[in-house]
Structure 1
């Protein structure tokens, strides 16, 4: 029986990130699959990745392997959303939250196997102020935490960076906040954090949104009013052992469109990357925006 032709493959890689035997090993694994000359781009920073991802599609790529962390994945997905191409994640970053939520392991050979023999899954993306995100977006405590972790500490301390920076911000002041979900008023009051989730697990491995699914056509929305170390310890403890909405310092809902107005400029982030400060967030879900290769379910677990 004639074997189906291999897809035209592209690699968009953050050259400072490493997994397994590194990019040379990735080249070898591709060659073992008969892919000797993939479209290949390496970038020194994730902000240079979107241009390369779009160029890969223009050159005929049907499958784009994204090598890097959540910031790299976010920028590539922002560029590839809505295009007729499949993506595969090679989780070479610090947190690798999207890969973890989708069941893609931090193992180079297994990730490549999923890229070629996994099943295609169309997932939603969120969109905040014109940019797509795959995992989460947030403003306030979350945005400040990510911003500090991004300033070099994450490279030195890894996942511990989120804990260290979190301790710095638990005393941050709340901001008067108004939130509309799907055109109706939902929240008005002081808030220390506003969070949007496309999946359940977010920064630091916290299960913030218990029932989130990246293909249900909706985004999870949360607002926190916790102040100080004790409140935040109770809030995060509730996330770890119970359901988030049972915390007295958290309100959650689900929506397709959200508008947030903040009384003062507040730092916000997308998938672990700081985006600056703003007083308004326009958020919406983009259903089935991109197709990702994910593990084939184990029949014994279905």
Structure 2
């Protein structure tokens, strides 16, 4: 059984909503929310003040949160599932990409909307959704942002299955991007690791099936299957990737030198390096020989074989006015959230 954190309860017990009548009318009726707060995201030493700031801004926006503090053994999907069953329509994650990933599975095709307050290290999902401001700006989006339905990917590799929002990676890319990120942030010691990894890397033979219709047989060092345009350290895979088109974007790196791959990773200029081949499909299967590692949103799953599919418009989210690297979306009808989520 999941226990609420006493710190969160103490904070909530001391909070009361006192707003003038005119301001209450301007802001609309209060909205119930489940706040999933991860104190281990980003800079843990800042988390107490972050929680206070978040609760204060939620009070200003007339959002009434039930707070859950994430612990190492927390079953966050169960917490979210119970909240949705209790009638809560807004699930707010204050944390990083990993915390967001942990709630997605419980929200697929559910009558609830995901809100994000980015307090992690990279905050890449929030970045894709145009949530790039401070805590006050992020909380304001919960009330005044755009409500969208976005695509979610499902990957199966060996005995591992999981949902993903950003990208599935196969091969060298799983080693290349983390080291390139460290190097870009001043860790010069990683240049040796980068060069060593590139020098020892060997390509694999890949058999790829797209929607059961198109078959590819290539030799490559790495492969990406993307749902979002940006991944990892705000690395742009390609400006053409969309999480609203009902398809996944496959990129193969079969005609690139190792130096070109390093340049691609270091410059973060997706789509500008020759030798990358781009395909789109709803379902993709890949078999690698020799076996390559499979990662989904940075989580190692297995080696060798993977199958992915897209679940179109499966997740409701609150987003900023402008999505990063994408044209402005048509907002979903948000009357359901404002009516059914209020108290």
TM-score category of the 2 structures, normalised to the smaller one:
0.7 to 0.9
Return 5+ residue gaps in structure 2 as ranges. Answer: 1-21, 329-343
Q: 1:55 aligns with which of 68, 82, 87?
A: 82
Q: Distance in 1 between matches of 2:262 and 2:85?
A: 49
| Contact kept in structure 2, 1:206 and 1:239, CA below 8 Å | yes
What is the alpha-carbon root mean square deviation over aligned residues? 3.1
- State the number of aligned residues: 288
Q: Distance in 2 between matches of 1:297 and 1:191?
A: 35
Q: Distance in 1 between matches of 2:82 and 2:186?
A: 34
Q: 2:66 aligns with which of 39, 47, 52?
A: 39
Q: 1:253 aligns with which of 258, 263, 279?
A: 279
Q: Distance in 1 between matches of 2:252 and 2:133?
A: 31
What aligned pairs does 1:113-152 form with structure 2 within 5 A after superposition? 113-129=140-156, 130-145=161-176
Q: 1:97 aligns with which of 100, 124, 137?
A: 124
Instruction: Quote how far apart the aligned CAs of 1:47 are.
Output: 7.3
SS in 1 for 2:277: strand
Cα–Cα, structure 1 residues 59 and 210, in superposed 2: closer, same or farther, change >3 Å? same
Cα–Cα, structure 1 residues 218 and 74, in superposed 2: closer, same or farther, change >3 Å? same
| Contact kept in structure 2, 1:123 and 1:214, CA below 8 Å | yes
Instruction: Quote how far apart the aligned CAs of 1:5 are.
Output: 3.0
| Contact kept in structure 2, 1:265 and 1:277, CA below 8 Å | no
Instruction: Quote how far apart the aligned CAs of 1:132 are.
Output: 1.3
Of Structure 1 and Structure 2, the greater strand share is in 1
Residue in 1 aligned with 2:50?
22
Residue in 2 aligned with 1:187?
216
Instruction: Quote how far apart the aligned CAs of 1:271 are.
Output: 1.8
Cα–Cα, structure 1 residues 18 and 109, in superposed 2: closer, same or farther, change >3 Å? farther
Residue in 1 aligned with 2:234?
205
Structure-1-length-normalised TM-score: 0.83
SS in 1 for 2:53: helix
Q: Distance in 1 between matches of 2:267 and 2:219?
A: 21
Per-residue displacement from partner, 1:83-124 (whole Å, max 9, x unpaired)?
Answer: 110011111112211211111114111011101111101111
| Contact kept in structure 2, 1:14 and 1:46, CA below 8 Å | no
Structure-2-length-normalised TM-score: 0.74
